Chains A and B, each alone.
Chain A
Amino acid sequence: MATPLTYLAYVGIILLVGLITMIISKKIKVPNFLLLIAVGAVNYL
């Protein structure tokens, strides 16, 4: 069973990945929305 700490960790990881993605999207001049969706979809693969 997932504890509150687990949920907190999920949110933290999603935010960290999102922040890194946004920094990369600024560097390579790609819309951040697209990269965020791609990162989420990669998780499924």
Chain B
Amino acid sequence: MIFLIINMIVLSALTFFIVRGISPLLAILFAAAMSGTSPSAVTIAFKGVKTKVFQFLEVESILNTPLAVLIPFLVLDLLRGIPSEGYVLAQLGAQIVPFLQQFITGIGVGILIGLIIFKVFSRIYHPTLSPLTIITAALITYVAAEQLGGNGVLAVTTLGLFFGNVYLKHKMKIKEFSEIFSTFLEILVFILIGFIIQVDLKNIFSPEVISFFIISATLFVAFLGVRLFSVIISFGRKQFTAGEKLYITLNVPKGIAVAVVALTLITSIVYPGIEYVFDLMLAFLVYSIVLSAIVTRFSKKFIRVEAMKPEKLKP
């Protein structure tokens, strides 16, 4: 949480000042989306390994992902109501009431459908239909919230939190199906993200491309600096060693959350500077995954534990 707050302040300010002609709200959106770490990337890397560092990274990624998705979508809704030119602050004031309405309606719809699902599941269970009901409920929650003027993502997040925190007899079986479904979506989203990345080998050394890489790398280094600072002020000397703190700092893989926010950003609204922010998001996604893979491969040097154990595929 400390990292999220500091990162949102520092990274958004840096992005606003370094990238020319960008709206402050877009800078906040970018910083918020970059504050999360991917639970699936972290849990895959640390499967079967139990140490304090891995447990912390796992819990952190699970806790910060909903916020890293939610805040950008809320900012995106604000951006939709504000024209790209003119007095931003005055327009922002006028958007407060609709913004609160979106917030309350979203949470309300999520809780309502969550309650209905809970009542149904506590009485009826069907091995094939119950997992499908979850997917249907998520889709209906999103559509209902958007139709009622609420925030769909917030509604589905509320539903997810509700479902995760209630006791259901067959919850594990339902979760197994959800994991298969999420893997299917991950494949689609990441390959589509790859389709969008335009690698123009002829112009790779053009001033524009070089300037983009310098700016994105500078922002990424600043982002790592903010994370290191947050880790140092969050933990005392006794909790983690210097190597462990460095390992936590460098292990910030972005995942499906950032990919989805980036895809929504580029496809949903037209706003000055939005394409640049989209490129920055993709650059951060790639940098963070590469860095995390390298750090995980050499985890023994930082924490004396091998993180990525070779996984055997069962015949």
Q: Which residues of A contact B192 (CB under 8 A)?
A: 14, 40
| Chain B facing A: main interface SS | helix
Range of interface residues on chain B? Answer: 20 to 34
> Is B191 in contact with A36, judged by CB distance below 8 angstroms?
yes
In this complex, which of B188, B190, B201 has the most chain A Cβ atoms within 10 angstroms of its Cβ?
B190
Q: Which residues of B contact A17 (CB under 8 A)?
A: 191
Asked if B308 is at the interface of the complex by the 8 Å CB criterion, the answer is yes
> Is A31 in contact with B187, judged by CB distance below 8 angstroms?
no
Encode B175-198 as 1/0 by CB contact (under 8 A) with A. Answer: 000000001101110111111111
Tally the A-B contacts, defined by beta carbons under 8 Å.
85
Q: Which residues of B contact A11 (CB under 8 A)?
A: 188
Q: Which residues of B contact A43 (CB under 8 A)?
A: 194-195
Q: Which of B92-148 contact A (CB under 8 A)?
A: none
> Is B289 in contact with A41, judged by CB distance below 8 angstroms?
no
CA distance A41 to B198 in the complex (A): 7
CA distance A33 to B41 in the complex (A): 8
CA distance A39 to B193 in the complex (A): 10
> What 9 new A-B contacts, CB under 8 Å, besides A40-B197, A43-B194?
A11-B188, A18-B187, A31-B293, A32-B190, A33-B253, A37-B286, A40-B191, A41-B194, A43-B195
A-B contact pairs, 13 of them (CB 8 A): A17-B191, A19-B187, A22-B183, A29-B310, A31-B44, A31-B45, A33-B289, A34-B293, A40-B193, A41-B197, A41-B199, A44-B197, A44-B198
